[in-house]
């Protein structure tokens, strides 16, 4: 019986904390995410114009821009700067494609001492792997649906 009582009070406590705590953080986080995510996108647009200026087709310029941002994200992660941005920016540093590069480099670097196969080689996909698994699966399914019904 007292066990049940304790569980309930913990829930109550949780609710109280939820009510009081997050408000100011939610707004601050949202602003950070908006500004940093926006800046990465704006940077992408500028790089895109650069590649179009060099004579790439729009399609190729989009791909080249993605590759460039991935390079930047990977480099900034290696230098330890991306984590500093991410501390404030949250989703603003996760969702842009630079965040995908970060999700590859950070665990790969962290587990390097486990070797180049099971450390770097395996851990670089600890987050990128699920992204590719679900992304590729959905794209094949979309293609199949399109083939069968449209």
Partner 1 sequence: MEKVLIAFLIGGLICLFGQLLMDLTPVSISPAHILVGFVTGGSILSALGIYGPLVEVAGAGATVPLSGFGHALAQGSIAAVEKQGLLGAFAGGLEATAVGIAAAVIFGYTMAVIFDPKG
Q: Which of residues 20-79 bind partner 1 (CB under 8 A)?
A: 22, 25-26, 29-30, 32-42, 44-49, 62-67, 69-71, 74-75, 77-79
Residue selected from 12, 80, 114, 115 as contacting partner 1 according to rule CB under 8 A: 80
- The verdict on 144 binding partner 1 (CB under 8 A) reads yes
- The verdict on 92 binding partner 1 (CB under 8 A) reads yes
- The verdict on 130 binding partner 1 (CB under 8 A) reads yes
Residue selected from 3, 5, 147, 149 as contacting partner 1 according to rule CB under 8 A: 147
Residue number with CB closer to partner 1 (1 or 117): 117
Bin 57: left if φ > 0, else alpha if -120 < ψ < 50, else beta: beta
Question: Residue 123 has what DSSP assignment?
Answer: H
Residue selected from 56, 88, 91, 122 as contacting partner 1 according to rule CB under 8 A: 91
CB of 76 to partner 1, least distance (A): 9
Instruction: Determine the size of the site formed for partner 1 (CB under 8 A).
Output: 78
- The verdict on 149 binding partner 1 (CB under 8 A) reads no
Residue number with CB closer to partner 1 (2 or 50): 50
Q: Which residues are CB-contacts of 122 (< 8 A; sequence separation ≥ 6)?
A: 111
Nearest to 104 by CA among 81, 132, 85, 84: 132
**Measured CA distances, 71 to 4, 20, 75, 97 (Å):** 53, 41, 6, 10
CB of 8 to partner 1, least distance (A): 17
**47-84 per-residue burial string, b: 16 or more CB within 10 A, e: under 16:** bbeebbeeebeeeebeebbbebbbebbbebbeeeebee
């Amino acid at each position: 019986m007292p066990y049940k009582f304790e569980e309930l009070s913990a829930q109550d406590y949780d609710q109280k904390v939820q009510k009081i705590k997050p408000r100011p953080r939610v707004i601050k986080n949202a602003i950070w995410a908006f500004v940093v995510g926006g800046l990465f996108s704006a940077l992408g647009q500028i790089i895109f114009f650069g590649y179009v200026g060099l004579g790439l087709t729009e399609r190729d310029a989009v791909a080249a821009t993605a590759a460039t941002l991935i390079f930047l994200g990977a480099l900034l992660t290696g230098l330890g700067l991306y984590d500093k941005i991410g501390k404030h920016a949250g989703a603003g540093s996760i969702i842009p494609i630079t965040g995908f590069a970060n999700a590859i480099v950070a665990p790969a670097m962290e587990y390097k001492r486990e070797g180049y196969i099971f450390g770097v080689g395996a851990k670089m996909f600890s987050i990128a792997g699920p992204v590719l698994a679900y992304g590729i699966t959905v794209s094949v399914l979309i293609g199949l649906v399109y083939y069968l019904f449209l």
